[in-house]
């Protein structure tokens, strides 16, 4: 492979890992606070649809993004009421959100736009454009470093940069602030937080609000940045992969980034390898497309050792003994 | 002071704002307050050390102290100030703890210190301790009591919740007794005695001393040779233990919890595979391997009252009669083949309830609705009524009130006098000393010594429990050396 191909695979890696990373960080807030979130997929899907629909109608990517975040937040709060206030089973609440999102997006899409569940293709302005960083064009001629800066680092959608900045922000919030300390404590031993005079449920709601907003960003990325308009089930299980990445990264921000990049890289490789030949035989496209998913199972099953999540994860908090 | 379920912890939880009272008033320093949450209680200078520590296991000591009492949105200034303040408190009250140690890496005694420091850091003037010595070694308990005396000297108020009479006599200035949710008496400790307090607690005269005659040991019924047992992580917890139990004898295994006693019990009763060694019952080696080891042990005549009745002894969502045959459900008297003879099972349950005075006497009630003492009686009745040769009992009176303790102890002695071999494991040293005919002390997976309960002092046993086998234990101050039981 020559340098240009490597660069283009890495470039695709960054693009493909962005929604994973945003969803993974979203899940981190929720799960660190002791609320298991299997509903990342559903929230992203709902956000993708809302962003696509609003961007198509208004012609504004920013309004689309806002709509995506609002819908994702609403969905999260619905899940939160079930899982936190009403002390329902967190897994069931998440699964319900996933099913609701899958059904509602297709149904509303068909009712409103009559395109088989898809939203209309976006014109200029309805979709985020890649950002060219300062001096990218000027430096493109510099050997090695020039193309890396101009092709790999510059030229992405704004959401890509937000995602990577959020890694540092999340690490700072979780480990350097009062909010982070309490958030981590509530996921480990909510009773300790309660006896310290802090409301457990309020903290958990604060955590999932962040989860909702980040899922909104992730979802919008699918329909109004990477894609041009919403398509049926366009998140394609990425929410589950983000969840796997979260576990693989042991609920830590920087490892989460690298894990998401790894999954993104496999996805990029998969696209590049389609129609590749192995020992003179063409490898079926499906087999290659399945690679990232197979890797998810293999990594989770074999390579991480024992992943011990937040101890109070999955258990609604009740005062009664 | 009060029995389990008398309302001590509930009362204190109301004081601490964890629950709210339906009626009544609370006065702090003469002014009336309605304490609505823990934060409010803390602001009024009330701090609480809970029975189960309210610590985050994977946080450092410092982070735990700061949690909920941070100065600002950023952590660093709070942590820096807490470090200085902790240093001062540690010196003032002689409470040394490494502020950067992670909670899960320090001992239970140290964790308790962190809880005390947490309260002091928040400016507590009144410190409530809920059953603080339940998890401590005698040495650690001594240290705790020294700290409590220092706190008292520095002008703090200490409220100690306990059901151990000796602790009340050793450290308190006044004692209030609760029974069934009511405060029945408040006495000056110096002007009362353990018998009076026990009577107030139970509402009738209680025999504090277990009455038993001398043992008449016969032939060896249970023999354990070079037993090695590993835990779920593959770490050896029992490292080559050998002993034997004869008929008509109670062997007590003493030790601080977590020194391999649980694994020993689980292995002998067939719940956990052994790595090496043999268990011989009535001259026949017992095969305990595999998932049905426990069933084979039972069939061979080894009954087992597990340490944790709620987790291992009962299915708490099942009715009493179902629990009364648990483990014996395949035996012929409860039905043939796949069918259960429910009438026979219910009859057995009714019989057990009568014999052991289980209250309420309702075989259809879910076992989770019985009190701890009655749950334990259900398990004991089931195991003892099978007339086994060997009875293995773990923590027979953990979380059981004084009245039921008296009953359970009598039943155990009765079995001994019927010529059964009894292996008793308990972290309550008093219990071991009053029931056992021989005491074996376990430390770090091995038996470090054997003692005669009639002559061994608590100090000697305490040292053995800390891994030091030294017949001439030095005598110092503190409750561990206070000699015989009250």
In a domain, B334, yes or no: no
Dist. CA A249–CA A258, nearest whole Å:
8
Query: For residue B222, which of B384, B454, B421 has the smallest C-alpha distance?
Result: B421
Shared domain check, B255 and B180: no
In a domain, B93, yes or no: yes
Q: Is B418 exposed, middle or buried (0-12, 13-18, 19+ CB in 10 A)?
A: exposed
Q: How confident is the model at residue B483 (pLDDT cuts 50, 70, 90)?
A: very low
Residue pLDDT, tens place only, B292-301: 888 889 889 9
Does residue B416 contact residue B235 with C-beta atoms inside 8 Å?
no
By Cβ distance, the residue of A175, A177, A185 closest to B67 is: A185
Give the pairing type, strands B276-281 and B220-230: antiparallel
CA distance B73 to chain A (A): 5
CATH-assigned architecture of domain A3-303: Orthogonal Bundle (1.10)
Does residue A46 contact residue A106 with C-beta atoms inside 8 Å?
no
- Mean pLDDT computed over B101-105: 91
Please give the pLDDT value at position B470: 55
B481 pLDDT higher than 70: no
CA distance A310 to chain B (A): 10
Shared domain check, B137 and B259: no
Closest residue in chain A to residue B65, using alpha carbons only: A196
Residue pLDDT, tens place only, A24-51: 999 999 999 999 999 999 999 999 999 9
- Taking each helix axis from N to C end, the angle separating A3-32 and A158-176, rounded to the nearest 10 degrees, works out to 40
- Window 198-237 of A, Cβ < 8 Å to B: 198
Residue A43, H or E segment: helix A40-58
Please give the pLDDT value at position A1: 52
Residue after which a domain boundary falls, among B152, B174, B202: B202
Please give the pLDDT value at position B309: 87
Dist. CA A189–CA A196, nearest whole Å:
11
Residue pLDDT, tens place only, B324-336: 999 888 888 898 8
Collect contacts of A167-176 with beta carbons under 8 A, ≥24 apart: A167/A21, A167/A25, A167/A253, A167/A254, A167/A256, A167/A257, A168/A253, A170/A25, A170/A28, A170/A29, A170/A253, A171/A253, A171/A254, A174/A28, A174/A32, A174/A253, A175/B75, A176/B74, A176/B75, A176/B76
Shared domain check, B120 and B93: yes
Domain holding B21, by residue range, is 8-202
**Boundaries of every domain in chain A:** 3-303
Residue pLDDT, tens place only, A75-134: 999 999 999 999 999 999 999 999 999 999 999 999 999 998 889 998 888 899 998 888
Shared domain check, B85 and B197: yes
Lowest mean pLDDT segment, chosen from A204-213, A310-319, B99-108, B381-390: A310-319
Please give the pLDDT value at position B208: 67
- Per the DSSP assignment, residues forming a β-bridge with B158 are B127
Dist. CA A40–CA A26, nearest whole Å:
8
B473 pLDDT higher than 70: no
CB contact, 8 Å: B121 with chain A?
no
Query: For residue B142, which of B426, B456, B453, B463 has the smallest C-alpha distance?
Result: B463
Sheet strands (E) in B4-136: 26-28, 31-33, 46-49, 126-130
CB contact under 8 A, A197 and B37: yes
Does residue B63 contact residue B79 with C-beta atoms inside 8 Å?
yes
Shared domain check, B248 and B297: yes
Does residue B50 contact residue B130 with C-beta atoms inside 8 Å?
yes
Please give the pLDDT value at position B162: 84
CB contact, 8 Å: B39 with chain A?
yes
Terminal Cα distance for chain B, rounded: 16
Dist. CA A211–CA A26, nearest whole Å:
4
Number of domains forming the structure of chain B: 2
CA distance A240 to chain B (A): 27
- Window 8-67 of A, Cβ < 8 Å to B: none
CB contact under 8 A, B75 and A180: yes
- Alpha helix locations (H) across A81-177? 90-113, 136-139, 145-147, 158-176
Most confidently modeled of A48-52, B134-138, B215-219?
A48-52
By Cβ distance, the residue of B67, B72, B74 closest to A196 is: B67
In a domain, B408, yes or no: yes
CB contact, 8 Å: A196 with chain B?
yes
Please give the pLDDT value at position B418: 93
A18 pLDDT higher than 60: yes
Shared domain check, B189 and B234: no
B471 pLDDT higher than 60: no
What is the percentage of chain B residues whose pLDDT exceeds 90? Answer: 47
Which CATH number covers residue B271? 3.40.50.300
CB contact, 8 Å: A179 with chain B?
yes
In a domain, B319, yes or no: no
- Window 53-112 of B, Cβ < 8 Å to A: 54-59, 63-64, 66-70, 72-76, 78
Closest residue in chain A to residue B49, using alpha carbons only: A195
Classified as helix, coil or strand, A227 is coil
CB contact under 8 A, B67 and A193: yes
Residue corresponding to tokens 């005598």: B475
Please give the pLDDT value at position A320: 56
Q: Is A281 exposed, middle or buried (0-12, 13-18, 19+ CB in 10 A)?
A: exposed
Dist. CA B335–CA B337, nearest whole Å:
7
Chain B positions in Cβ-Cβ contact with residue A197 (cut-off 8 Å): 17, 37-42, 68
Q: What burial letters (b/e) apply to A104-117, b meaning 16+ CB within 10 Å? A: ebbebbeeebeeeb
Whether the bond into B360 is cis, omega within 30 of 0: yes
Across all residues in chain B, what is the average pLDDT? 87
Chain A positions in Cβ-Cβ contact with residue B66 (cut-off 8 Å): 181
In a domain, B451, yes or no: yes
Shared domain check, B256 and B121: no
Shared domain check, B245 and B195: no
Does residue A48 contact residue A234 with C-beta atoms inside 8 Å?
yes
Chain A positions in Cβ-Cβ contact with residue B17 (cut-off 8 Å): 197
Q: How confident is the model at residue A235 (pLDDT cuts 50, 70, 90)?
A: very high
Global pTM value: 0.77
Please give the pLDDT value at position B51: 81
Does residue B289 contact residue B273 with C-beta atoms inside 8 Å?
yes
Residue after which a domain boundary falls, among B168, B202, B236: B202
Shared domain check, B275 and B143: no
Residue after which a domain boundary falls, among B169, B202, B235: B202
With a CB cutoff of 8 Å and minimum separation 6, the contacts of B33 are B26, B27, B40, B44
Lowest mean pLDDT segment, chosen from A204-208, B45-49, B66-70, B165-169: B165-169
Please give the pLDDT value at position B138: 76
Please give the pLDDT value at position B7: 82
- Mean pLDDT computed over B217-224: 93
Q: Report the alpha-carbon angle B439-B442-B448, nearest 5.
A: 85
By Cβ distance, the residue of A189, A191, A193 closest to B68 is: A193
Most confidently modeled of A254-258, B15-19, B203-207?
A254-258
This complex has an ipTM of 0.87
Across all residues in chain A, what is the average pLDDT? 90
Lowest mean pLDDT segment, chosen from A161-165, B62-66, B200-204: B200-204
Give the pairing type, strands B438-443 and B446-451: antiparallel
Say which DSSP state A156 is in.
B
Dist. CA B20–CA B37, nearest whole Å:
8
Give the pairing type, strands B31-33 and B26-28: antiparallel
CA distance B309 to chain A (A): 17
CB contact under 8 A, B54 and A196: yes
Lowest mean pLDDT segment, chosen from A30-39, B281-290, B341-350: B281-290
Better-scored residue on pLDDT, A219 or B476: A219
Does residue B396 contact residue B376 with C-beta atoms inside 8 Å?
yes
CB contact under 8 A, A198 and B19: no
Closest residue in chain A to residue B57, using alpha carbons only: A188
CA distance B35 to chain A (A): 12
Q: How confident is the model at residue A193 (pLDDT cuts 50, 70, 90)?
A: very high
Give the pairing type, strands B284-285 and A281-282: unpaired
B118 pLDDT higher than 90: yes
Please give the pLDDT value at position B374: 87
Dist. CA A71–CA A42, nearest whole Å:
11
Q: How confident is the model at residue B398 (pLDDT cuts 50, 70, 90)?
A: confident
Chain A positions in Cβ-Cβ contact with residue B38 (cut-off 8 Å): 194-197
In a domain, B76, yes or no: yes
- Mean pLDDT computed over B365-371: 86
Residue corresponding to tokens 């609000």: A209
By Cβ distance, the residue of A178, A188, A195 closest to B57 is: A188
Chain B positions in Cβ-Cβ contact with residue A311 (cut-off 8 Å): 57
Shared domain check, B249 and B134: no
Please give the pLDDT value at position B401: 76
Better-scored residue on pLDDT, A135 or A189: A189
In a domain, B335, yes or no: no
Task: List the B284-285 sheet strands across, edge first.
Answer: B236-246, B220-230, B276-281, B284-285
- Dihedral (C-alpha) A10, A12, A17, A18: value to the nearest 10 degrees? 120
Does residue B277 contact residue B224 with C-beta atoms inside 8 Å?
yes
Please give the pLDDT value at position B311: 86
Dist. CA A271–CA B238, nearest whole Å:
56
Interface test with A, best of B61, B64, B67, B116 (most A CBs within 10 A): B67
CB contact, 8 Å: B452 with chain A?
no
- Residue A35 tokens read as 């609320």
- Mean pLDDT computed over A162-172: 97
B476 pLDDT higher than 70: no
With a CB cutoff of 8 Å and minimum separation 6, the contacts of B405 are B373, B397
B480 pLDDT higher than 50: no
B486 pLDDT higher than 50: no
Shared domain check, B188 and B51: yes
**DSSP assignment of B380-432:** HHHHHTT--SEEEEESTTTT--HHHHHHHHHHHHHHHHTT-EEEEE-S-HHHH
Dist. CA A155–CA A10, nearest whole Å:
13
Dist. CA A41–CA A85, nearest whole Å:
22
Shared domain check, B244 and B97: no
Give the pairing type, strands A281-282 and B46-49: unpaired
Interface test with A, best of B54, B64, B128 (most A CBs within 10 A): B54
């Amino acid at each position: 492979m020559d340098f240009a191909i490597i660069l283009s695979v890495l470039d695709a890696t960054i693009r493909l890992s962005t929604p994973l990373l945003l969803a993974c960080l979203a899940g981190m807030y929720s799960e660190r606070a002791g609320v298991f979130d299997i509903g990342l997929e559903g929230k992203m899907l709902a956000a993708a649809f809302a962003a696509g629909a609003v961007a198509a109608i208004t012609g504004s990517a920013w309004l689309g993004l806002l709509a995506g975040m609002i819908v994702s937040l609403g969905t999260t709060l619905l899940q939160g009421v079930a899982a936190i206030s009403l002390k329902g089973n967190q897994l069931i609440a998440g699964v319900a959100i996933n099913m609701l999102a899958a059904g509602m997006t297709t149904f509303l899409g068909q009712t409103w736009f009559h395109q088989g569940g898809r939203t209309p293709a976006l014109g200029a302005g309805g979709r985020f454009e890649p950002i060219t960083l300062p001096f990218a064009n000027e430096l493109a001629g510099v050997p090695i470093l020039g193309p890396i800066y101009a092709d790999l680092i510059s030229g992405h959608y704004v959401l890509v940069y937000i995602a990577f900045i959020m890694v540092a922000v999340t690490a700072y919030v979780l480990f350097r602030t009062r909010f982070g300390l309490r958030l981590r404590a509530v996921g480990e031993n909510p009773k300790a937080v309660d006896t310290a005079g802090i409301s457990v449920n309020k903290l958990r709601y604060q955590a999932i609000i962040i989860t909702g907003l980040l899922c909104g960003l992730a979802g919008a990325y699918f329909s109004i940045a990477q894609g041009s308009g919403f398509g049926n089930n366009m998140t394609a299980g990425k929410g589950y992969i983000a969840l796997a990445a979260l576990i693989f990264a042991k609920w830590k921000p920087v490892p989460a980034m690298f894990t998401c990049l790894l999954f993104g890289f496999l996805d990029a490789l998969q696209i590049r390898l389609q129609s590749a030949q192995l020992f003179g035989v063409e490898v079926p496209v499906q087999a290659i497309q399945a690679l990232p998913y197979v890797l998810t199972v293999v990594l989770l099953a074999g390579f991480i050792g024992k992943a011990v999540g937040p101890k109070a994860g999955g258990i609604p908090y009740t005062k009664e003994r | 002071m009060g029995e389990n379920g008398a309302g001590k912890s509930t009362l204190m939880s109301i004081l601490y704002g964890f629950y709210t009272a339906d009626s009544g008033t609370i006065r702090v320093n003469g002014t009336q307050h309605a304490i609505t949450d823990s934060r409010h209680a803390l602001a009024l200078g009330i701090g609480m050390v809970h029975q189960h520590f309210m610590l985050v296991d994977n946080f450092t000591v410092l982070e735990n102290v700061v949690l909920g009492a941070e100065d600002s949105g950023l952590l660093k200034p709070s942590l820096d100030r807490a470090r200085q303040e902790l240093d001062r408190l540690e010196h003032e009250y002689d409470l040394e703890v490494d502020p950067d140690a992670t909670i899960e890496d320090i001992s239970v005694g140290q964790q308790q210190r962190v809880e005390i420091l947490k309260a002091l850091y928040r400016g507590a003037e009144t410190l409530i301790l809920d059953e603080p010595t339940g998890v401590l070694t005698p040495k650690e308990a001594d240290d705790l009591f020294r700290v409590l005396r220092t706190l008292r000297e520095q002008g703090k108020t200490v409220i100690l919740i306990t059901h151990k009479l000796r602790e009340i006599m050793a450290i308190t200035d006044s004692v209030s007794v609760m029974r069934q949710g009511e405060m029945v008496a408040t006495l000056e400790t110096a002007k009362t005695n353990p018998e009076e307090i026990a009577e107030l607690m139970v509402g009738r005269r209680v025999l504090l001393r277990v009455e038993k005659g001398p043992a008449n040991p016969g032939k060896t019924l249970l023999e354990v040779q070079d037993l090695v047992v590993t835990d779920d992580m593959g770490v050896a917890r029992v490292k080559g233990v050998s002993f034997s139990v004869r008929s008509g004898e109670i062997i007590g295994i003493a030790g601080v919890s977590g020194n391999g006693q649980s694994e020993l019990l689980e292995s002998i009763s067939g719940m956990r595979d052994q790595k090496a060694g043999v268990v011989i019952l009535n001259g026949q080696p017992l095969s305990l391997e595999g998932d049905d080891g426990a069933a084979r042990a039972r069939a061979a005549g080894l009954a087992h009252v597990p340490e944790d009745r709620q987790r291992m002894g009962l299915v708490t969502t099942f009715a009493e009669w179902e629990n009364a045959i648990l483990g014996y459900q395949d035996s012929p008297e409860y039905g043939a083949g796949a069918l259960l003879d429910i009438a026979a099972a219910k009859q057995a349950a009714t019989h057990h309830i009568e014999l052991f005075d289980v209250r309420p006497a309702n075989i259809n009630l879910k076992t989770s609705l019985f009190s701890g003492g009655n749950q334990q009686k259900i398990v004991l009745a089931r195991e003892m009524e099978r007339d086994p040769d060997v009875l293995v009992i773990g923590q027979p009176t953990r979380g059981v009130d004084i009245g039921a303790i008296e009953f359970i102890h009598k039943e155990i002695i009765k079995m001994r006098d019927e010529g059964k071999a009894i292996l008793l494991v308990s972290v309550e040293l008093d219990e071991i000393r009053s029931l056992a005919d021989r005491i074996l002390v376990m430390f770090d997976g091995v038996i470090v010594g054997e003692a005669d309960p009639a002559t061994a002092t608590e100090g000697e046993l305490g040292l053995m429990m800390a891994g030091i086998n030294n017949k001439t234990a030095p005598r110092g101050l503190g409750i561990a050396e206070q000699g015989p039981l009250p």
